[in-house]
A and B are shown apart, each in its own frame.
Chain A
């Protein structure tokens, strides 16, 4: 390896080694040791525990729904933006980036105002007489999903937009000139070519929802997901062994999901 390059890279590498790699490796190692013996007890204990399995299941369910809804809302919107006039496109792009850069605390908090017992939705429904007692929406998995969809929708729109911008429109025009209807051209050309982007966007949303802390902490109430459960074990219960096990489970799920979906996206689009 080039010596000059090495000297320039070294400070950053050492920093990451000391403050990321070592702490994470030690955390992973610590989960396999109990009372000085190598054991899987930490993990077995967790998966035998119905409570943890329920949390894991809630987390996966919330993340899957969030990802699917984000795809459903984001794809058409991104398609529309990609076909819009330059001026409209830049406005809509800016309007998508703004929420992305806005604090997750602010964005989750805004949903507390909307979903709460005296919130916007409930007071509206009570006022028009549709319901008598306010619905419990806030502090449920549904509230988490809504908050997470709101959190990650801009991300998938922007990712898809990047893919759609790179799409060769000559292909679509060629299909049209050969007699394909607009819908057929979309179905046969645009959609297949943008599916890898949809998968990449999906990975970002899924992994993001799986590991998000702020939104479930604010909108989930007592309802736990793995990230808030990790925090609770570490900071409230002071059970660092349990927190470490959860941390490792989160890392493993993240890497498995990213690896599988990346492989899938690459297979659909070998040129990457």
Chain B
């Protein structure tokens, strides 16, 4: 038994080295002073971090990414919170089907969704690219918003809401005064998870670029295909720090239970 345990823990250690090693390596190479990515780096320099701020495309696309993720999040909340509430609160026939429909954007391959949106939203409906980008991101955020909020509504006792209403509070009033405050941490977690999902998205964004419009991941892809200097490594480090910070907040808000549920 002891032998088996030791072998298993060694195996797990190797798995985690495989998982995290590349991220450590990319972080170390970001400090390379030369113009070519190397491991180990030949010295220590922050010049590639400075370069991020000097190449205006990175700053511009970073801004676009943030704005699209936030606006899309807001839209997805406006559409998703009522839907999640209805799906958790009421029992009606076809509920499972509707639930499946709301989660379906994650089932459609992202690249397929991106292409069909380009073909119809932009070309047939004639929407501007920026609007297409926003709508596409809203579509992919919606399932995350609904799933996370519905799972926090599962822990909410709707009897409390009924009690408030029986005491004369209106529907809207009870929703804002009773329901929302009770699932506040779930909503915040949903916002952060959807934000990361949108911010990192490539599959939709890669079709929704035009003159002056692109997102940070797409800009990074383009840059990597043309240059192989440590700038992308430096951006990667900044993104990982951001990810770690958001992950910490998500853990505080609702633990990691959401991730292990399928």
Contacts across chains A and B counted by CB atoms under 8 Å: 252
Q: What's the least CB distance linking B227 to chain A, in Å?
A: 12
Q: Which of B25, B113, B202, B260 contacts A120 (CB 8 A)?
A: B25
Q: What's the least CB distance linking A86 to chain B, in Å?
A: 13
A159 within 8 A of B: yes
Q: What's the least CB distance linking A145 to chain B, in Å?
A: 13
A52 within 8 A of B: no
User: What is the interface of chain B mostly: helix, strand, loop, or mixed?
Assistant: helix
What's the interface size class on B, roughly?
Answer: 35 or more
Residues on the B chain within 8 Å of A118, using CB = 36, 38
Query: Which of chain A's residues has its CB closest to B89's CB?
Result: A5
B60 within 8 A of A: no
Residues on the A chain within 8 Å of B15, using CB = 73-74, 76-77, 153, 157
A162-B262 in contact given A12-B82, A106-B236 (Cβ < 8 Å): yes
Q: What's the least CB distance linking B119 to chain A, in Å?
A: 6
A99-B20 in contact given A16-B105, A243-B115 (Cβ < 8 Å): yes
Residues on the A chain within 8 Å of B207, using CB = 234-235
A150-B92 in contact given A102-B239, A182-B1, A247-B116 (Cβ < 8 Å): no
Query: Do B86 and A8 touch across chains, with their CB atoms under 8 A apart?
Result: yes
11 cross-chain CB contacts under 8 A: A5-B86, A13-B101, A16-B105, A94-B247, A118-B36, A213-B110, A214-B202, A230-B112, A230-B115, A247-B111, A247-B112
A-B interface, 5 closest residue pairs, ranked by CB to CB distance from nearest: A162-B260, A211-B109, A110-B22, A8-B86, A23-B120
Q: Which residues of B contact A (CB under 8 A)?
A: 1, 4, 8-9, 11-12, 15-16, 18-20, 22-23, 25-26, 29, 36-39, 78-80, 82-83, 85-87, 89-90, 92-94, 98, 101-102, 104-105, 107-113, 115-121, 124, 135-136, 138-139, 142, 146, 196, 199-200, 202-203, 206-207, 217, 220-221, 224, 228, 232-233, 236, 239-240, 243-244, 246-247, 251, 256, 259-262
Q: A102-B240, A211-B112 are in contact. List 12 more A-B contacts (CB 8 A).
A: A9-B83, A15-B142, A23-B117, A27-B115, A95-B16, A101-B200, A104-B217, A106-B26, A106-B236, A109-B224, A109-B232, A159-B262
